[in-house]
Structure 1
Amino acid sequence: MPVEFLNDDVVAKYGRFDGPPSRAELERVFFLDDAGKALIAKRRGGHLKLGFALQLGTVRFLRTFLTDPLDVPTEVMDFVAEQLEIADPLCVKRYTEREKTRLDHMWEIRRVFGLRDFAEVEDELTAWVDARAWMFEEGRTAINEVPTPEQRQVLMMVPEIRPGMRMSDLERWRTGPARASSPEMVKTL
């Protein structure tokens, strides 16, 4: 991927954790809702459940998968393990014993949330950035520094938005659980 238009700080931080997420970020991005728990429940063993959940949260937070899915801050691992009621988060070390498991989980997450690999959309992104730079008198650096929703969407993993939807399943899921008001809950019931 060409990165000459990115500043060094952005390149250095991309695709990895730059320290532990804040408590608010943990609760917003790494919260496991019913849909996430249903996917995780298909796994047998705490190490597989925790490994899958870490990949799920990581792609939501970083917008890419880590080469080593266990390369996450301790705070993330503990937060996710607590939700899964896994007493010993270090059991996750067994998750990487079989490379295909990590890849199978990554492919399933891509399929379920409509994610596409950057290589599939690189030409489309390049054309979009070039057109945007010409049409709006913005340089490539300006486009990178102030990402719009459209720009965020064409980063490393590109979620697909289904017809009639305003955002992708991943983007909707990444915002965390909805907080309904009492009148809305009564109306729903």
Structure 2
Amino acid sequence: MYVLQSYGQLIKTIFICRYLLSKTLRKRINAQLNKGEQLHGLRVYLWFGGDGIIRKKQEEQQQVTVRCLNLLTNIVIVWNTIYIQEIINQLYTEEHEINDIDFGHISPAPFEHINRLGKYSFNANFELNNKGLRPLRKLNNF
């Protein structure tokens, strides 16, 4: 047991030394932490009306609440991932230069486009592309 603890401490020490000596490693870790925080922000944004507190007393009902939040979070992430990929494909098609490093900055957890309150419009007067996706919005900034 003592050997395994010492081995674990050795691995942690080596990692800490690498972390302190490598600016690129620190940047990569910080970027991943930011993505984790963005995912947490998405969950907080999706969970409204209860101030983030599970008010159910029975464990089974608490688990249902948490599973619903997980399902909703996963739906948003899949939706975002599909449309982010579609945007990347369009940029490739339009022959924009995309560096592989740029992909490290993309997160599937943005939520600014989600309207969780207010009016919803289900206008079906748009055509879907051959993949069954809605057309992408045109931006004039690019």
Q: Is the shorter-chain TM-score for this pair beyond 0.5, marking a shared fold? A: no
Question: If the length of structure 2 is used for normalisation, what is the TM-score?
Answer: 0.31
Question: If the length of structure 1 is used for normalisation, what is the TM-score?
Answer: 0.26
Whose radius of gyration is greater, 1 or 2?
2
